[in-house]
Amino acid sequence: KMLKEIYDAPPVLFYRGTLGEPDETCVAIVGSRQMSSYGSTMMPRIAGPLIDAGVTIVSGMALGIDGAAHIEAIKRGARTIAVLGCGVDEASVYPRAHFRLAQQILDCGGLLVSEQPPYMPALRHHFIARNRIIAGLSLGVAIVECKLKSGALITADYAADFNRNLYAVPGPAYSSLSKGPHKLIRDGA
């Protein structure tokens, strides 16, 4: 339902798994592919209460924060939605290191979704399109660890464009992975 509200909603989506209810409450958690030990420590503290409150976690199944968000949902036996920048078929799942994670998402009643057709490989420009879907599906977007040039900040921009709530998790002042969230906080997240 939320995705239909965005100005450039995808005309077609491909999926594997369980669609869920049209008014499902979703919150996106995205961030750096180079998750630090701080990010790893924060993930259960950020995702856990949301999951326990019945919120479905949406993310991009990338390495790092995205994958950790999905894993936290799976650990709690909860549904999660992975928005992919490739086809949803087994042969196209990217990153390949998350092939097993994709199956676990499906096994927990989750969803793999993409606007890319089956057998489409992951291409750089697909990820920007994927980020708009992540923000579009969600009531809010939480950014956990990212540098100042990051796909997570593109997702944050989409969240702002779509009038979604934007959250940023502060991090250690010395870490380059805190610069993105700290900028968002300074800007009003």
Model confidence over 91-136: pLDDT tens digits?
999 999 999 999 999 999 999 999 999 999 999 999 999 999 999 9
Tokens 């499902």 found at: 24
Torsions phi, psi for 56 (to 5 deg): -90, 130
Q: What pLDDT, on the 0 to 100 scale, is given for residue 138?
A: 97
Which helix H or strand E contains 167, and what residues bound it?
A: strand 165-169
Beta-sheet strand order (sheet of 165-169)? 14-17, 111-114, 80-83, 56-59, 26-31, 140-144, 165-169
Q: What pLDDT, on the 0 to 100 scale, is given for residue 137?
A: 97
Rg (CA), the chain: 15
Q: What's the CA gap between 150 and 60, in Å, rounded?
A: 13
Q: What's the CA gap between 155 and 67, in Å, rounded?
A: 16
Give the global pTM.
0.96
- 151 band by pLDDT with thresholds 50, 70 and 90: very high
DSSP string over 141-159: EEEES--SS-HHHHHHHHH
Tokens 């087994």 found at: 90
The per-residue pLDDT for range 34-78, each reduced to its tens digit, is 999 999 999 999 999 999 999 999 999 999 999 999 999 999 999
